[in-house]
Structure 1
Amino acid sequence: MLNVAIVGTGNIAPMHINGLLQFPDRCKIVALCDIYPEKAEAMKKKYNLDCEIFDDHKKMLESDIKIDLVHICTPPYVHAEIAINSMNAGKHVIVEKPMAASLKECDAMLEAEKRNNVVMSVIAQNRFRNSIYKLKKAADSGIAGKICCAHVNSYWWRGHCYYDLWWRGLWEKEGGGPTLNHAVHHIDMLNWIEGSLPEEVTAMLANVMHDNSEVEDLSIAVLRYKDGSLAQVTSSVVHHGEEQGIVLQCADAKLAAPWDVKAEMSRPNGFPVEGGNKELIAKIEEYYNSIPDLTYEGHTGQIEDVLNAIENGNRPLITGIDGRMTIELIAAIYKAGCKKEIVKLPLSKDDDFYTVEGLLKNAVRFYEKGASIENLPPDEITVGNYK
């Protein structure tokens, strides 16, 4: 039985709690921690948890409560500090996305994991969605041919008041806008499917709807890979409908999530045959439909994977290395957008965008943050639309 603590009891914490509660014979929530302890108390009551409440993660780690695993669900700028302190105390950690606010912090977290011989996993729960998991399998099968062009549509919508929360909309606290905090999901998927980072990145950043925020609310990036293929990543909190997805234009067919497959055939004049390559489409559909569904999806699926890793002494599917890759690509997008240049990867340790300080020095501040409130009203949140 693994004893679990959750640090940060805001909007995303219920996803972790509900996931953990699916495995009552394998784990137990023994502590909740929040700088607003009344929020932790309310969550304890809502889920009828038998646990202790703390207002500081250091106090929690120094207490006599036995803790094996710490879930970190705080704003990004403190992910590294809490993760490193937890791992130095011998605890395994699950860190919410994004892994950290900079590559320097990611590297410090990886070093702490190795030095303390613990497990660290970074939340990328959409790898545990059937639609994404099966898309990856279909792409890896090679039936559709090599990926020539990928379109990543990280389309979200957030109202003006979203950025009134005290830590949002500030480069120093949130670390960026939807490129970091929303498209992180889709960028992880792209890295996972492609199997590598691109060699070059260019991007444009904008803030078109949220004049109470320093950070971008829209970015469009173009990536070039070693084999010459391209990808486009749109990161947005201004898209009505939140119609998210990934489209892979492969040599022989299109694969997409939400699931869609198309395959063209050429006429003698080079134009497409009406109806396309029906035989190949049928073959891809048959393969896709043969892939078994995952037992658990979303956060629950990733939590189960981490429990398995800890119990069996294995590595989780999503590691700190994966989390770092995502941050590196996001840092390159920010560098390209802020400095208006083509950025080559990998980023070196002497690059300004390797550190938070370098980001803050170079970041474009679209507006001065206006309203700042401690907490928004508790309500449902959206965590992705992949239907």
Structure 2
Amino acid sequence: MIRVAIIGTGSISRAHLQAYALFPQRCEVVALANRHVERANRLKEEFLLDCTVTEDYHELLHNKDIDLISICTPPHTHAKIAADCLLAGKHVLVEKPMAMSLEECDRMLEAADKAGRILSVIGQSRFDDSIMKLKHILDSGLAGRILHAQVEAHWWRGSSYYDMWWRGTWEQEGGGCTLNHGVHHIDLLQWMMGMPQSIQAVISNAAHSNSEVEDLSIAIFSYEQGGLAQVTSSVVHHGEERQIVLQGEHASISTPWKVVASASRPDGFPERNEALQQKIEQFGSGYEPLKYSGHAGQINDILLAIEHDSLKVLIDGREGRKVIELITAIYEAATMRRSVNLPLSTDSLFYTREGLLANAPRFHKKEISALSREEE
């Protein structure tokens, strides 16, 4: 039986608790930690947990009965809490974004390597059948090399969304829609196409006056063999329609699912390649759906690794770091108004949290914090 603790009992912790509850024969939540124990106690009652509650997560570190810790706290706390847990010998599953800077990511990775423990970063979108099917077909090579990717992480949030005390600030949230909403699609793009050579970007705050950070960003990724990807992250899009479209040499495949294949006529103009379309559709129909999806899929993944005494998970700390590197490059490219080459070095102006805070643009002054720290 794998014994689990959860640090942070805000809204996202419910997704973790719901997922852990699907595996009662394999794991048990034995502790909750929150600075305000009344919130943790409410969650304990809601989920009918037989667990301890503490206001100081450090009390969990010396508890030898705890094997795995989910970190569900605000982003600016992730690095220190994760490193403390790992060095105490606990496996860690940390919510996205992994951390607020590459320097913090590197500290977390160093702790995981030193402790010989799993560090996994939430990327629940990978554990979705539509995404897994797209990756399955992409890896088959049927569509050919990807020439262009269109990635749209479209969300919509009202102004009051940024009234939460830690949202809408570089210091506490670490960024805007690119880091906190586009992060999933940026992770999926990296998983499917790998890391680009360079990034160009623009960011803006178009509609949220109670926020320092961006609510709209557009980035162009350039790849080694000439491929391009355009990535839009937004919280201003009505309808919240999200998609990934991959234009391959032989066919286009996308989620929501669609396949289109073209062949060349003698004059170079296109005609539909029905045979290839049918082949791709047939190959896709052979995909076996996941037993568990979303947070449950990722928690199943880390439970399997622990049960088999393995450090291998689908999204480990190094995969999580790649996403932060891409987002850091977007911020650097947009702020400095120039193309940024990858990989980023430790000399990057945005490598550290201090560098981010010193150089990031403040689009507006945050005036409203309707929810105080005590109400978090």
TM-score by length of 2: 0.97
Of the three residues 218, 221, 224, the one matched with 2:216 is 218
In the TM superposition, residue 41 of structure 1 has moved relative to its aligned partner by 1.2
1:206 is aligned to 204
Q: Map Cα deviations across residues 50-91 of structure 1 (whole Å, 9 max, x no partner).
A: 1111122113324x4721100001111110010001011110
Structure 1, 263-272 or 119-128: larger mean CA deviation: 263-272
How many residues end up aligned between the 2 structures? Answer: 373
Counterpart Cα distance in 1 of 2:344 and 2:136: 30
Counterpart Cα distance in 2 of 1:352 and 1:313: 39
2:297 is aligned to 301
In the TM superposition, residue 267 of structure 1 has moved relative to its aligned partner by 2.6
1:381 is aligned to none
- Please tell me whether the aligned partners of residues 170 and 360 of structure 2 are also in contact (alpha carbons under 8 angstroms): yes
Q: Map Cα deviations across residues 271-301 of structure 1 (whole Å, 9 max, x no partner).
A: 222xx11110000000011010011111000
Is residue 288 from structure 1 mapped to residue 284 from structure 2 by the alignment?
yes
Counterpart Cα distance in 1 of 2:248 and 2:38: 51
1:102 is aligned to 101
Counterpart Cα distance in 2 of 1:93 and 1:151: 33
- After the TM superposition, list the runs of 4 or more consecutive aligned residues in structure 1 that deviate by more than 3 angstroms: none
Counterpart Cα distance in 1 of 2:182 and 2:7: 23
In the TM superposition, residue 264 of structure 1 has moved relative to its aligned partner by 1.6
Q: Map Cα deviations across residues 127-156 of structure 1 (whole Å, 9 max, x no partner).
A: 110000110110110001110000111001
- Please tell me whether the aligned partners of residues 60 and 66 of structure 2 are also in contact (alpha carbons under 8 angstroms): no
1:85 is aligned to 84
Q: Map Cα deviations across residues 281-328 of structure 1 (whole Å, 9 max, x no partner).
A: 000000011010011111000100100111112211111010000000
In the TM superposition, what are the counterparts of 1:266-345 in structure 2 within 5 Å? 266-273=264-271, 276-314=272-310, 315-345=312-342
- Percent same amino acid at aligned positions? 53
Structure 1 residues 322 and 370: CA distance shift in structure 2, 3 A: same
Of the three residues 327, 340, 347, the one matched with 1:350 is 347
SS at 1:221 equivalent: strand
Counterpart Cα distance in 1 of 2:232 and 2:309: 38
In the TM superposition, what are the counterparts of 1:5-20 in structure 2 within 5 Å? 5-20=5-20
In the TM superposition, residue 35 of structure 1 has moved relative to its aligned partner by 2.0
Q: Map Cα deviations across residues 11-65 of structure 1 (whole Å, 9 max, x no partner).
A: 2111110110011011100111112222211111111111111122113324x47
Structure 1 residues 335 and 342: CA distance shift in structure 2, 3 A: same
Q: Map Cα deviations across residues 193-233 of structure 1 (whole Å, 9 max, x no partner).
A: 01x21111000000011000000000000010111100001
Q: Map Cα deviations across residues 113-135 of structure 1 (whole Å, 9 max, x no partner).
A: 01011111101111110000110
In the TM superposition, residue 258 of structure 1 has moved relative to its aligned partner by 1.1
SS at 2:315 equivalent: coil
TM-score by length of 1: 0.94
Of the three residues 239, 249, 252, the one matched with 1:251 is 249
Q: Map Cα deviations across residues 232-287 of structure 1 (whole Å, 9 max, x no partner).
A: 010001111111121100011110011110112223332222xx111100000000
1:23 is aligned to 23
Of the three residues 223, 232, 235, the one matched with 1:234 is 232
In the TM superposition, what are the counterparts of 1:154-193 in structure 2 within 5 Å? 154-193=153-192
Counterpart residue identity of residue 33, structure 2: C
Counterpart Cα distance in 1 of 2:372 and 2:224: 45
Structure 1, 165-174 or 345-354: larger mean CA deviation: 345-354
In the TM superposition, what are the counterparts of 1:45-84 in structure 2 within 5 Å? 45-62=45-62, 64=63, 66-84=65-83
SS at 1:59 equivalent: helix
Structure 1 residues 65 and 32: CA distance shift in structure 2, 3 A: farther
Counterpart residue identity of residue 196, structure 2: P
2:370 is aligned to 373
Q: Considering only aligned residues, what root-mean-square deviation do their CA atoms show, in Å?
A: 1.3
Unaligned 5+ runs, structure 2 = none
